[in-house]
Structure 1
Amino acid sequence: SISALSGICAILRFWPIVIGGLAVSQTGTQAAIAKLPAEVTLGFAPQGNSISRWMQAARQRGHEIVMQVPLEPFDYPNVNPGRNTLTVAATPDENLKNLRWALSRMTNYTGVMNYMGARFSADAAAMAPFMAELGRRGLAYLDDGSSARSLASDLALKDGVPFIAGDTSIDAVQDRGAILKKLDELEATARAKGFAVGIGSAFDLTVDTVSSWVIEAKKRGIEIVPISAVAVDPEKG
């Protein structure tokens, strides 16, 4: 309840919400940028259209942005993140070429976020050159938290890459009540550890639900922040 939360507002300071999949749907992207509060971080899909124009619109509205990079999931290619996916079977040079293609699609992003990638992120030989490249470029890495086998945290530490781990997907079920329940779970996580990171996609229902929820959350003293505010910096840690 709101009254029960009033006493613990002080520790609910850091709460990133990341909405990915921008630039895939033109109308969906426009709605997400227009409706979501500036504190919400936006993730762009490199396969999207007019990506530089949308990036500029997002930055003008104050959003921090990340570039989503397609990484190989289990059951690939039956489950396919899209063209230029980084794969376990590819050579490091081939993967770096695909990574650089994604990174060249726009500018002004804080870091990189995986799109799928459960198999890729669990393979040290594939993941190490990828993370080293991010380190060379000074980019953060956001792991969406969907795979418990991800090696991203350890490799990020090794390569000096600021790291953020997502706590939960908020919209795996496209239902307003289910999304609100996930946001409530994140609130409990934030109480327990001081911050929580929620990951969603730019579906109309998600955008509308998150937009209205953030307004109410702010009234309860919850501060929504960009992902850079909670990144673990190996240089300082």
Structure 2
Amino acid sequence: MADTTDDLSTPLGQNSAPKRRLRLPVTLPQAAGFLLGSILVVFLGFVFFNHDPLGGEPVARVAIQQTSVSDDKPAAVRSAPKQPDSAAAVAAQSATGQKTITIIDGSSGSRQDVVVSGPESNTADAGSPAAATGVGQHLLEKSRYGMIPVVAADGLKPFKAYAMGTEADRAKAAKTPVVAIVVSGLGVGATKTTDAIMKLPSAVTLAFTPYGSDPGKMVEQAHAQRHEVLLQVPMEPYDYPDNDPGPQTLLTTLGAEQNIDRLHWQLSRFQGYVGLTNFMGARFVTAATVMQPFIREAAGRGLGYLDDGTAPTSVAGQLAERQAMPFAKADLTIDAVPTSVEIDKALARLEELAMKRGTAVGMTSALPVSIDRIGAWIKGLESRGVMLVPLTTAMLKSKSN
């Protein structure tokens, strides 16, 4: 009988069969390289065999039918309800020959309906309020930041194109004491901006800062309600930078070229404004060396300028006169003390100034109490022999005087 060895007496590790290890057909580096190579092959195939010259950029396709639409008439632009499709669409043609095109912003997804005039509406005056509700492409030029206003080839200026007063209103204003009200600081708070747009008469002018999330949409709403619009330009106050108006503020420490570049950024934030006004800027508006290039640039682009009146030594008026630029200076801030009693007193003073001088301009914020008291005051204004007018009408009357 064969000898058997007790497993317990066998030295450890000498009588045990070696274990077989599982070996992969490829190593991990090889697998990763194969995967990356496959992705590269697929991408190159897509690039070479997919004919897309735009490289995947957002595309809007518009079906255009040949009509006798005049190129020098600004299209009427209004807010549109959100559509489910992702390309621009042409709506049914109206009886007057107008067509509505839905335009989609590829970067933000926002949508607009653009009403394009047909043959029967070609006779509209480009400077009339009906045409001024939209933004004319002939009044824009491209900058490094986007489209900014410019005088059209035929000499039409944004100041005139977007003015809401009619010739009949201006003729009446020439013989009547007038008051212009400008509501400032709009575009940042949606609620107060909407209240100013919807609750105040169309003759009230609205000033928007460049800092809203979607200022263009709010300006469109203002145009739809027949309000004139200003762009508030952030400028350096005396206590800057402790009191900072915001990004791209015009500064006295910058050269003319740098400030104009910042101005172009501000001008590109939205379109359809008749002119500019200062946002803060008590130091900037008193320094002729920096204000002169600013006024020259704004005047050259066909814009007016409103001085908010908070800096007694502002040089804006003198510089605007040299440029033959439409100009006005606010006589007082209506809600400097934001109580009903003080606002009513300020409105009474504004009315007295209009009766005495023929023209008066007041600025206000969009506080609920301000909108409420101004609205109540306006209702009886005409019966007292004073006319509420858009800012451009007041500017033109002051210039003629």
| Normalised TM-score (structure 2) | 0.55
- After superposition, residues 28-177 of structure 1 pair within 5 angstroms as 28-177=192-341
Say which of 347, 365, 370 aligns to 1:183. 347
How far 1:102 sits from its partner (Å)? 1.1
Provide the rounded CA distance (Å) in 1 between the counterparts of 2:315 and 2:397.
17
Deviations 1:21-41 (A, max 9, x none): 111101111111110110100
> 1:152-196: per-residue Cα shift (whole Å, max 9, x none)?
011001122111111000011110111110001111111210111
Distance in 2 between residues matched to 1:19 and 1:105, nearest whole Å: 19
Matches of 1:67 and 1:229, distance apart in 2: 17
Shift of 1:83: 1.5
C-alpha displacement of 1:220: 2.1
Structure 1 residues 18 and 234: CA distance shift in structure 2, 3 A:
closer
Between the aligned residues of both structures, percent identity stands at: 39
Give the CA deviation at 1:221. Answer: 3.0
Tell me, in whole angstroms, the C-alpha distance in 2 between the residues paired with 1:155 and 1:176.
37
Task: Measure, in 1, the Cα distance between the counterparts of 2:233 and 2:378.
Answer: 27
Letter in 2 for 1:114: N
2:171 alignment partner in structure 1: none
Q: Which among 342, 356, 370 is matched to residue 192 of structure 1?
A: 356
Q: How many residues align?
A: 228
Q: Secondary structure at the match of 2:230?
A: strand
Greater RCO structure (CA 8 Å; 6+ sep):
1
Equivalent runs, 1:224-235 vs 2, <5 Å: 224-231=388-395
Q: Match for 2:370 among 198, 201, 206?
A: 206
Deviation digits for residues 83-142 of structure 1, max 9, x if unmatched?
Answer: 211010011111111111111111111100111111101101110110000111010000
Verify the 8 A CA contact 1:11 1:191 in the aligned structure 2: no
For 2:320 and 2:256, the matched residues in 1 are separated by 17
Q: Structure 1 CA distance, aligned partners of 2:336 and 2:398?
A: 31
The answer for the alignment partner of 1:25 in structure 2 is: 189
Q: Give distance in 2, aligned partners of 1:136 and 1:222.
A: 33
Give the SS at the match of 1:196.
Answer: strand
Deviation at 1:216, TM superposition (A): 2.0
Matches of 1:42 and 1:235 in 2, distance apart?
21
Whether the 8 Å CA contact 1:160–1:233 is kept in 2: the answer is no
Greater helix fraction, Structure 1 or Structure 2: 1
User: What is the one-letter code of the residue matched to 1:213?
Assistant: W
Residue type of the alignment partner of 1:49: S
How far apart in 2 are the matches of 1:159 and 1:66?
A: 19
Query: Which amino acid in structure 1 is aligned with residue 303 of structure 2?
Result: L
Consecutive unaligned residues of structure 2, counting only runs of 5 or more, are 1-173
1:3 corresponding residue in structure 2: none
Alpha-carbon spacing, 1:61–1:180, altered in 2? closer, same or farther (3 Å): same
CA contact (8 A) 1:186 1:196 kept: yes
Cα distance, 1:221–1:214 mapped onto 2, change above 3 Å: same
Q: Is the 8 A contact 2:187 2:208 kept in 1?
A: yes
Partner of 2:381, secondary structure, is helix
Residue 11 (structure 1) shift: 6.3
Q: Deviations over 1:182-211 (max 9, x none)?
A: 001111111210111000111121112111
1:4 is matched with which residue? none
Question: In 2, distance between residues paired with 1:235 and 1:74?
Answer: 31
TM-score (norm 1): 0.91
